[in-house]
Amino acid sequence: MAESPSLRSRRAHWLLRLLLVACLPLLCGTSEAEQIRDIADFAGIRTNNLVGYGLVVGLDGTGDQTTQSPFTEQGLTNMLSQLGVTLPSGANMQMRNIAAVIVTADLPPLSRPGQKIDVVVSSIGNAKSLRGGTLLMTPLKGADGDVYAMAQGNLLVGGAGASANGSSVQINQLAGGRISRGAVVEQTVPLNLGMQNGVLELQLREPDPATAQRVVFAINSEMRNTVASAVDGGLVQIQGPFSANERVNFMARIDSIEVLPMQARPKVILDSRTGSVVLNGSVKLFRAAVAHGDLSVTIDTTNTISQPGALSGGQTAGTANSDISIQTQARSLRVLEGSADLMDVVKGLNALGATPQDLMVILQALKAAGSLRAELEII
C-alpha cells in the first residue's frame, strides 16, 4: 500500500528533527548538556524574603546596654506586658543579658504550614556577643506585612572570644548567629504561575536568544508538538494542560529535558578591594608583548640633636635629616602567546611574575590593546 504524500512529508519532517538533535552537540562544541531546571525557572515559583524584630535572652553579660539601645528596653517592656507582667512607671532596667536582633529567613517556594525553615539572627544594638542566647518567639513578615512564619530557638554562633584586663581576642563574628529549622511556617504563599489560557512561562536565569531558541526546540521535540515559543531571549511560553495533576507531571517532564546552552561570554572579574582576579573558561588571549617594571621610593629620616656648649648661652635644637632614594626594577618585554584555553592563558599571565594588583593593571592594558577578548568587571 503506497504512502500518502502528507504522511511521507510528516515522516521526513520528524527524521530531519531527529538528525538535527543528533548533530546539535557536534555543531555547538563540546559543552555539556544541562537540564532545563538548571538554567530556567517557571514564573511564580520563587523564594520569598521574611524579616522580623525579636529579642535574644540568656546572654552571659554580653547583651545590649539599655542606656545606648533604648529600643531593647522598649521591646522587653512590650513583651512582658503581653505576658501579663506590668513594670512600675519609670523603672530603670539595667540588663546585660538581653539583646535586640533582626531575624531574616527565606521562605522556599511551595512551603506548607508546619514545615520548618532556617533563620539568621543579627544584633542591631551594642551587644558584644550573642553566644549562648535564646531567641524568643518572633513573627516573620513578608513584603505585604502578613506573618508567614514564627521563629524561636537556641542560637548557634560560629565565633568565639575572650577578654581580660583590657586585652581581648576574637575569632570570627559574634554579633550574629543561625538557628537551623528555627522557624515554623504559618501560612502558604499563594502560587501564581502566571497562567493565561493554560500558558506557562519559563524564565531563563541567563537570558540569551540562542539558548532560548534551543530550549524551544528541545521542548517541542520532546513533546512532539509545537507547545513552546520564545517571547524574547529570556522568556519562553509553553502551552500546558489545565488539570492540576497533569500540569505537575507536565512541568516535571519539562524540567528533565536536556538542553545544550550557549557558552558563557568571556569575562574577567577584578576585585579592587582584595586584589582577586577571576577568569571564566571562555577568556581568549591573543599574542601580545608586555613589560611591567616596579618603582619603589624609600624615605629614611634620621633625627639628630644639637647640644650647645656649657656656657655658650645657646639652646638645644633638634634637626631631621631625610635621605630619599628611588629604585626601579627594569623588566624586559615578555611575549604572551595567544591561546583560547584557560589554562594556557593562566600560565602566560603567571609567567609575568606580577602580583595580583599588578595583574589587574596588566589585564586592563591588554584589554585596551585588543589582545584580551573578555569583558572586564570591576567590583
**Is 157 domain-assigned?**
yes
**Is 150 domain-assigned?**
yes
Whether residues 206 and 155 share a domain: the answer is no
Whether residues 35 and 68 share a domain: the answer is no
Whether residues 76 and 122 share a domain: the answer is yes
Whether residues 61 and 179 share a domain: the answer is yes
* Bridge partners, 105 (sequence order): 50
Helix pair 356-369, 342-350: axis angle to 10 deg: 120
Specify the pLDDT at position 24: 45
Which grid cell is 284? 581568549
Specify the pLDDT at position 65: 78
Tens-digit pLDDT profile for residues 42-96: 888 888 999 999 999 988 888 887 666 777 777 777 777 777 777 777 666 667 8
Question: Which residue among 129, 151, 185 closes a domain?
Answer: 185
| Euclidean distance between CA atoms 74 and 99, whole angstroms | 12
Q: How many CB atoms lie within 10 A of CB 140?
A: 25
Whether residues 153 and 213 share a domain: the answer is no
Specify the pLDDT at position 5: 52
| Euclidean distance between CA atoms 119 and 326, whole angstroms | 56
**Is 64 domain-assigned?**
yes
Are 277 and 346 spatial neighbours (Cβ–Cβ below 8 Å)? no
What DSSP element (H or E) covers 317?
Answer: strand 317-329
Whether residues 298 and 279 share a domain: the answer is yes
**Is 128 domain-assigned?**
yes
92, amino acid identity:
N
Specify the pLDDT at position 337: 66
Work out the burial of residue 67: count CB atoms within 10 Å of its CB; fewer than 13 is exposed, 13-18 middle, 19 or more buried. Answer: exposed
Task: Report how many domains make up the chain.
Answer: 3
Whether residues 244 and 293 share a domain: the answer is no
pTM, rounded to two decimals = 0.64
Domain range holding 178?
Answer: 48-83+93-161+171-185
163, amino acid identity:
S
| Euclidean distance between CA atoms 74 and 63, whole angstroms | 15
Whether residues 356 and 247 share a domain: the answer is no
Whether residues 252 and 283 share a domain: the answer is no
pLDDT above 70 covers a percentage of the chain that reads 70
Residue position matching grid coordinates 517592656: 77
**Is 11 domain-assigned?**
no
Whether residues 122 and 238 share a domain: the answer is no
**Is 310 domain-assigned?**
no
Which DSSP string corresponds to 282-304? T-EE--EEE---EEEEEEEEEEE
Which grid cell is 251? 512541568
Which DSSP string corresponds to 152-214? EEE-B---EEEEETTEEEEES-SSEEEEEEEEEE-SPPPP----BTTEEEEEESS--HHHHHH
Residues in the chain with pLDDT values less than 70: 1-31, 66-68, 90-94, 159-172, 194-196, 292-343, 349, 352-353
Residue position matching grid coordinates 550574629: 176
**Is 30 domain-assigned?**
yes
Specify the pLDDT at position 93: 65
Whether residues 177 and 67 share a domain: the answer is yes
Are 376 and 279 spatial neighbours (Cβ–Cβ below 8 Å)? no
Whether residues 148 and 246 share a domain: the answer is no
**Is 6 domain-assigned?**
no
